[in-house]
Amino acid sequence: MIRLRGVARRIWRVASIPLLAIALAFVVAAVVIVVSSAFTSTGFDLFLPIGAYSSLLAGAFGSGNGITNTLVAAAPLIFGGLAVGLGFKGGLFNIGVAGQFLVGAFAAAVVGSALAGAPTAVGATLAMFAGALGGAAFGFIPGFLKARTGAHEVVTTIMLNNAAVLLLTWAVNDLVRAPGFSFPRTGDIGNSALPILLGRNLHLGIPLAVATAFAVRWLLDRTTIGFEIRTVGQNPNAARYAGMRPVVMTALTMTLSGLLGGVAGAIQMLGVIGFYAPGITASVGFDSIAVALLGRSDPIGILFAAVLFGAFRAGAPLMQIETSVPIEVIDIIQALVILFLAADLIVRRVFRLRAAKAGITELKTVTQSWAGGAGPAAGQGS
Amino acid sequence: MKRLLALGLAFGLVVAGCGGAGLPGGGGGLKVGMVTDIGQLEDKSFNEFSWKGVQDGASAVGGSAKNIVTKDIADYKQNIQSFVDQKYDIIVTVGFLIGTDTLAAAKANPSIQFFGIDQFICVAKDASDKECKGDVPANYQGLIFNEAQAGYLAGIVAGTITKSNKIGAVGGRSDVPPVVSYIKGYENAAKTVKPGVQVLINYVEDFNAPDKGEASAKTMIGQGADVIFQVAGLTGAGALRAACNAKIWGIGVDVDQYLSLPDSKACIVTSAEKHLQNAARDAIKRFKDKGKQTGNYVNDATNGGVGASPIRNLNPVPAGLEDKLKQATADMASGKLKPVP
């Protein structure tokens, strides 16, 4: 009993701020829903948030299909969240998951459609590898630039996001356009689609995502590389003094981060979308940053955060059908969660918590990054 | 204690969420659901006008309408499926990108009627068939538009207002038939209205490059063109920008771009418009009156499916222009006038 209490206390200590931030976000979004209801055809409705949130919940968890939809939406967010989280651990802010996601999705689509007739074991596996490789390559570029020249990864990854969109649009238009469609797109992936394990759409990517979360945790906590990534993230100078090579670790961390982002795109391509076309939006890329922050960069925390964000996406259609509350409310809730996480003083004031015992360190990475903190190559500490 | 209170508040919220049942859908009658293209509902473009048409159609047949807004391509399937699960009678999907998922849903749910706005349904009979000889599901109809007629109306406007006797058209890709139809209609009309007019045509071969569109339009303007018609998506937005910067006239495409492209509203005279609202409304009525709809349904002058958007920015509107447009529409409807002979 006492042990149980100890565990609960420990969980509360790590998770209190994120959980309360979520609760507060729902409350504030409820106010937005009520106020905006006055401007719709249905008219002012004080109880609309209850209807909207219950539809959201029913859509996400109220049925077998709802739950699988939630998990399907969570899978790429787990990979994306791990990508951003791993970067945070290494002191890097990878905003480039959107681009790495697209490159991974595109590579998987091209290889997948080329092997559309091959057995699934071959096609899906090779397409996954292609996605991982594409993402890793696209993560290596900003990693290399940072390690070699000190070019800030926030700037380079944002620019590479745009580069990815334009590059892939050109590639689909002029290199791999499939015949027989009125608009540019790649061919069907056919047999290369990830096998469905359960129900309508629960694909292999979901157990893979969960396994990867544990693998990343193992990498960070139990291996030399993980230790070096974390040490470099916390203090590149100390790391160098200890005989590590921050420059190499920076490039490696970004490459691994990009690899995870690429796999996020690949499983989304092979598990859900099925073809690449210009105009594909990578909302996963930016939601991943929020997932990593909410999960406090901890792989297990990221699992939970991704399921929450997946639930938003899976529940949103029912919310729109049953209550006509616009899907933008989801964006508002997600944004508020991040706002309250960043300004945790608000949360602590509202809920009268004493000063947080453990600060949210990954947010420090964010602020450092935005402040233009020097890279390890520049040889300055922070 | 205070912490307990906080916890209670958090859980209370979750419990409140679990409580109340969902609101029931609209009363009796047909239930019509619409899944949008990626973006937002009030986009002053495809989503918004399709949704207006779906609402009009639903109320015309005594039914109810709901929409789901799509934010990510990965959500198409699930959004369509949500309406299927809620036992909707008609599901309307918007834009060509969602066509693949709509076709799959139509095959899987033969009791539900599907309409695809701006979707040309092509079912191949076998691997070698490039001409869509396969059977479209009996419960799926693509709502397409006669672009040549819309382009013809735009050409009448361009031919009437040009002073330099040179007009231009910027096309997205020369291998996309609707783009070519728009421009052919435009060219023929301008030459009919003003014999001797020179029509400069450039296919940029790219729909997503505003800078190329701008460069293309600038070249035409340099050659003396004083009206530019864009049929090139984002590329075309660049062409219209060039027209505005040069203080000449631009003509939009697909929807009333005076509304959808506020940056260029100062110089857009009209747009070659697909009447999405009419098309969606009439489709729902057709289903109510005649049952299951299939194939590709062409919206054209005979059914009010295409037209020229209201004339803007011209003060006064040149004498007889409105009459010419009306006459041409009537003649195309009766079959007397062929925009592309």
Q: Is residue A332 part of a domain?
A: yes
| Structure confidence by residue, pLDDT tens digits, A212-260 | 999 999 999 999 999 999 999 888 888 889 888 989 999 999 999 999 9
Q: Is residue A3 part of a domain?
A: no
Minimal C-alpha gap between B272 and chain A (Å): 20
* H-helix or E-strand spanning residue A86: helix A64-89
Q: What is the CATH classification number for the domain harbouring A225?
A: 1.10.3470
d(CA A174, CA A189): 19
| Structure confidence by residue, pLDDT tens digits, A333-358 | 999 998 998 888 888 888 887 655 55
Q: Please, which pLDDT band fits residue B174 given cuts at 50, 70 and 90?
A: confident
The residue extents of the domains of chain B are: 31-145, 147-273+311-334
Q: Any idea of the CA torsion for A77, A78, A80, A84, to the nearest 10 degrees?
A: 130
Percentage of chain B beyond pLDDT 90 is 50
| Structure confidence by residue, pLDDT tens digits, B20-55 | 333 334 446 899 999 999 888 888 788 999 999 999
Structure tokens at A188: 């069907």
Specify the higher pLDDT residue, B138 or A353.
Answer: B138
> Could you tell me how many residues make up chain A?
382
Q: Which residues lie below 8 Å from residue A6, measured CB to CB, with a gap of 6+?
A: none
Q: Is residue A6 part of a domain?
A: no
| Structure confidence by residue, pLDDT tens digits, A117-144 | 999 999 999 999 999 999 999 999 999 9
Mean pLDDT in residue range A203-211: 96
Q: What is the pLDDT of residue A41?
A: 73
| Per-residue pLDDT at A371 exceeds 60 | no
Q: What is the pLDDT of residue A179?
A: 80
Structure tokens at A361: 């360190």
| Structure confidence by residue, pLDDT tens digits, A357-370 | 555 555 556 555 44
Domain that holds residue A336: 13-377
Minimal C-alpha gap between B158 and chain A (Å): 28
Q: What is the pLDDT of residue A346?
A: 83
d(CA B227, CA B225): 6
Count residue pairs from A and B with Cβ separation < 8 A. 126
Q: Is residue A8 part of a domain?
A: no
In this chain, the answer to whether the domains covering B31-145 and B147-273+311-334 adopt an identical fold is: yes
Q: Is residue A84 part of a domain?
A: yes
Please provide the DSSP assignment of A152-191 as one string.
Answer: -HHHHHHHHHHHHHHHHHHHHHHTSPPTT-SS------GG
Q: What is the pLDDT of residue B13?
A: 43
Total structural domains within chain A:
1
Percentage of chain B beyond pLDDT 70 is 92
d(CA A35, CA A183): 41
Cβ–Cβ gap A268/B74 under 8 Å? yes
Neighboring chain A residues of B79 at a CB cutoff of 8 Å: 317
Q: Is residue A315 part of a domain?
A: yes
Question: What is the second-level CATH architecture of the domain B31-145?
Answer: 3-Layer(aba) Sandwich (3.40)
| Per-residue pLDDT at A267 exceeds 80 | yes
Minimal C-alpha gap between A285 and chain B (Å): 11
Mutate to test the interface with B, among A67, A182, A331 (most CBs of B within 10 A): A182
| Per-residue pLDDT at A373 exceeds 60 | no
CATH homologous superfamily, domain B147-273+311-334: Response regulator (3.40.50.2300)
Mutate to test the interface with A, among B43, B70, B72 (most CBs of A within 10 A): B72
Q: Which residue of A has its CA nearest to B66?
A: A321
Of A26, A65, A183, the CB nearest to B85: A65
